[in-house]
């Protein structure tokens, strides 16, 4: 499959961004065949050092945390405060189809790199901008990272927990990665439109806006006119058949059933709770809600789950074609047969020989190939010389620009 044509071959992308959200857009575009040049400042993307917070290497030849959102790109280091560094960026944009950026817009305007300025120079350019909170309003110019702008401000950090619990502590980059798919969808729509009009456009999204979109059902459910109680009581969930339970082995399993009345007899039989099949407290969701019997049913189910390990319950639910899932630890996924069978996890060998399991782009095409393996992201400016040479700079000019600290 690796030798087949990729769907975005011939598309050129310039990335001026740090951390995860926008770099993950660049990674996805590169996975699908686009030529992506990532521009860092000479000190590098701050995401390069995140791994040390978790005991993961951050060296140039083995930095898996940085590689995850930056695989498959050429890496160029430019000092945009210098005239020469800025001119290199402009030359890259002259040849680009897409510009993806997470630098705050006021800074881009000061440098003359805002869309209104660039579209005069590159009318075909698709300019995709990302921020923490959106382009308008009192928070427009505030810095915003994943856990703050996505999780905390959207309410998900506290309301997705249970009453009495601490706010959840999400994995680093999770909100960024989901936001990247929103920005990517806008870019692809703009690319399709440009094929019809020949004109570029400006588009934007934010961590906060994307969080509200992905939590859209919760935005409706939390309103006072619908009861609006969040976070929920773990011992009294809205639907006991769509809840998580702890098993004999202390592991957790979740059942997911939307239609209580339809599925209660199936679950009761599967779990050996036949005595409750005709219990009027539980076999009608209307009665259960009106009379407040959900807490009772939750307690009965929890007691029953404690009689068998999670593996046995999984076999029982699978045999009865019920929707369930053991609550995995993330470490379990790297060896999960389902993930491996679908190539969702890839074993990557770093240049120094370190082997790391990494997530791969989960979108697969029938008519196009996919990159055979994740490409390690190198050190700061590792491709600067090659990219500058393609732009027409001589070795002497490149050496002088390095001496002037315009590039690295």
Just list the catalytic residues. 176
Q: Kindly report the backbone phi and psi dihedral angles of residue 206, in degrees, each rounded to the nearest multiple of 5, phi listed first.
A: -145, 165
Tokens of residue 39, six digits: 């521009």
Tokens of residue 376, six digits: 């390690």
Tokens of residue 192, six digits: 């399709």
Cβ neighbours of residue 202 under 8 Å, at least 6 residues apart? 115, 119, 127, 129
Tokens of residue 334, six digits: 């790297």
Rounded-to-integer distance, Cα 169 and Cα 380, Å: 31
Tokens of residue 365, six digits: 């095409």
Rounded-to-integer distance, Cα 231 and Cα 211, Å: 17
Rounded-to-integer distance, Cα 376 and Cα 197, Å: 37
Cβ neighbours of residue 67 under 8 Å, at least 6 residues apart? 348, 350, 358, 374, 376, 377
DSSP for 337-370 reads HHHHHTT-EEEEE-TTS-EEEEE------SSS--
Cβ neighbours of residue 348 under 8 Å, at least 6 residues apart? 64, 67, 355, 356, 357, 358, 373, 374, 376
Rounded-to-integer distance, Cα 146 and Cα 211, Å: 10
Using a CB cutoff of 8 Å and minimum separation of 24, what contacts does 266-269 make?
Answer: 266/320, 266/322, 267/241, 267/322, 269/320
């Amino acid at each position: 499959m690796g030798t087949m044509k990729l769907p975005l071959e011939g598309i050129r992308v310039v990335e001026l961004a740090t951390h995860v959200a926008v770099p993950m857009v660049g990674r996805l575009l590169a996975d699908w065949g686009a030529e992506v040049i990532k521009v860092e400042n000479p000190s590098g993307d701050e995401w390069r050092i995140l791994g040390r917070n978790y005991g993961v290497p951050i060296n140039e030849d083995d930095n898996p945390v940085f590689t995850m959102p930056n695989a498959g790109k050429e890496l160029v280091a430019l000092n945009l405060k210098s005239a020469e560094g800025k001119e290199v960026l402009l030359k890259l944009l002259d040849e680009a189809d897409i510009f993806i950026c997470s630098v705050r817009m006021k800074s881009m305007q000061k440098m003359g790199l805002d869309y209104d300025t660039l579209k005069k120079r590159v009318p075909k350019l698709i300019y995709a901008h990302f921020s923490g909170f959106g382009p308008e309003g009192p928070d427009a110019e505030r810095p915003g990272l994943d856990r703050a702008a996505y999780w905390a401000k959207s309410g998900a950090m506290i309301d997705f927990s249970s009453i009495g619990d601490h706010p959840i502590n999400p994995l680093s980059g999770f909100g960024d990665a989901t936001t990247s798919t929103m920005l990517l969808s806008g870019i692809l729509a703009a690319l399709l439109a440009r094929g019809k009009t020949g004109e570029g456009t400006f588009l934007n999204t934010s961590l906060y806006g994307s969080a509200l979109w992905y939590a859209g059902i919760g935005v409706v459910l939390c309103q006072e006119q619908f009861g609006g109680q969040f976070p929920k009581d773990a011992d009294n969930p809205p639907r006991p058949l769509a809840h998580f339970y702890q098993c004999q082995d202390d592991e957790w399993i979740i059942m997911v059933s939307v239609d209580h009345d339809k599925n209660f007899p199936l679950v009761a039989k599967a779990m050996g709770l036949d005595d409750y099949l005709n219990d009027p407290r539980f076999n009608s969701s209307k009665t259960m809600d009106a009379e407040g019997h959900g807490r009772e049913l939750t307690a009965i189910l929890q007691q029953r789950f404690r009689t068998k390990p999670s593996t046995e319950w999984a076999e029982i639910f699978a045999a009865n074609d019920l929707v369930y899932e053991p609550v995995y630890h993330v470490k379990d996924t790297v060896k999960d047969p389902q993930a491996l069978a679908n190539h969702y996890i890839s074993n990557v060998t770093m240049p120094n020989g370190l082997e790391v399991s990494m997530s791969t782009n989960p979108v697969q095409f029938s008519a196009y190939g996919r990159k055979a393996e994740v490409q390690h992201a190198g050190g700061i400016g590792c491709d600067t010389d090659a990219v500058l040479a393609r732009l027409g700079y001589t070795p002497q000019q490149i050496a002088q620009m390095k001496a002037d600290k315009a590039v690295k």
